[in-house]
Structure 1
Amino acid sequence: MENLLLPLKRNPYLLSPDIDTKVKPNVAILRECGLSVSDIAKLCIGMPRILSTKLEHVQAMVACADGLGVPRDSGMFSEALRAVAFLGEKKIAAKLEHLKNTLGWSDAEVGTAVCKAPMLLRASKDRMQRLSEFLISQVGLEPAYVAHRPALLTYSLEGRIRPRYCVFKFLKENGLLHHGRDYYAAVMATEKVFMKKYISPHSESAPHLAEDYAAACRGEVPTIFRLT
Structure 2
Amino acid sequence: MPRMLTANVQQIRAMVASAEALGVPPGSAMFRQALRSVALVSEEKMATKVDHLKKATRWSDADVAIAVSKWPILLRWSKETLQRKSDFLIAEVGLEPAYIARRPAMLSFSLEGRLRPRYYVMRFLKENGLLDHDRDYYTMVLFGEKVFVEKFICPHKEAAPHLPEDYAAARRGEMPTNFRFV
1:149 aligns with 2:149: no
One of 133, 144, 168 as aligned partner of 2:87: 133
Q: Where does residue 198 of structure 1 map in the other structure?
A: 152
Q: Where does residue 78 of structure 1 map in the other structure?
A: 32
Displacement after TM superposition at 1:205 (Å): 0.4
TM-score (normalised: structure 2): 0.94
User: Match of 2:169, SS?
Assistant: helix
How many residues align? The count is 181
One of 162, 170, 179 as aligned partner of 2:124: 170
Q: Distance in 2 between matches of 1:122 and 1:221?
A: 30
User: Which deviations, in whole Å up to 9, do the C-alpha atoms of 1:41-79 show, x marking residues without a partner?
Assistant: xxxxxx322112222221111111000001222111111
User: Match of 1:51, SS?
Assistant: helix
Alignment of 1:1-228 (within 5 A): 47-178=1-132, 180-225=134-179
Moved more, 172-181 or 60-69: 172-181
CA RMSD of aligned residues (A): 1.6
Corresponding letter in the other structure for 2:64: V
Corresponding letter in the other structure for 1:192: K
Q: RCO higher in 1 or 2 (8 Å CA, sep ≥ 6)?
A: 2
How many percent of aligned residue pairs carry the same amino acid?
A: 61
TM-score (normalised: structure 1): 0.75
Q: Distance in 2 between matches of 1:223 and 1:89?
A: 49
Q: Where does residue 42 of structure 1 map in the other structure?
A: none
Q: Which has the larger radius of gyration?
A: 1
Displacement after TM superposition at 1:178 (Å): 3.4
Displacement after TM superposition at 1:136 (Å): 0.5
